[in-house]
Amino acid sequence: MSSTSLQPGEIDRHLRSMRLMTIGFLATVPMAVALMLLFPERVGSAPPMAVSFIAAAAALWIGFTANRDAQARLDRVKRKFAAKGDLQELLRDHRLVNLAVLARLEVMVIASVVASIWGGSSAAAWGVLALAAMMMALSWPSADKTDLLIQRAREQRGR
C-alpha cells in the first residue's frame, strides 16, 4: 500500500472515529444541563456578575476563535501533506484538528456551568451552553468535508 492511497473503508473508519469523538463531547452538554439544574447558585468570593462576565467572555473568545484556529491547523496539515503526500497522516492530523476544536468548545460548556453555579446571570450561562452545543453539532464530521480536505491537500501538493 502506498502512502498516497487509502485502503478500502479507511475514510469510513476515519469518519466513524471522528463522529464517536464528537458524540463523546456532545454528551457533556446534557451533563452540564443536569449540573446547572441540580446545583443552586452559590455565592463565592468573587461578585456573581463578574463571574458571569468573565466566564461568558472567555467562552465566547475561545469559541469564536476555534474556527480560525482550526483553519490555521488545517492549512498546516495540507502543507505537510504537500511535502510528504501521506494520506494516512493527513487523516490522523485531521482527527487531531477535530479534537482540538472539540476541546476548545468543551471549555465553553465548562464555563457555562461555572457561570450558572457561581455567576449572577443564568441567561448568559444557558446562552453560552446553547452556543457551545450548536458549534459542536456544526463540527459534525462528514464525508463531504473529508473529501474536500483531501482534494484541496492534493491540489496543494500538485502546485
Confidence of residue 1 (pLDDT cuts 50, 70, 90): very low
pLDDT of residue 71: 94
Residues 39-95: tens digit of each pLDDT: 877 776 778 888 889 999 999 999 889 989 999 999 999 999 999 999 999 999 999
Q: Average of pLDDT values for 3-19?
A: 89
In angstroms, what CA-CA distances link 138 with 18, 46, 56, 70, 125? 13, 34, 20, 13, 20
pTM of the model: 0.88
Residue with cell 492549512: 75
Enumerate residues 6+ apart whose C-beta is below 8 A from 10. Answer: 88, 91
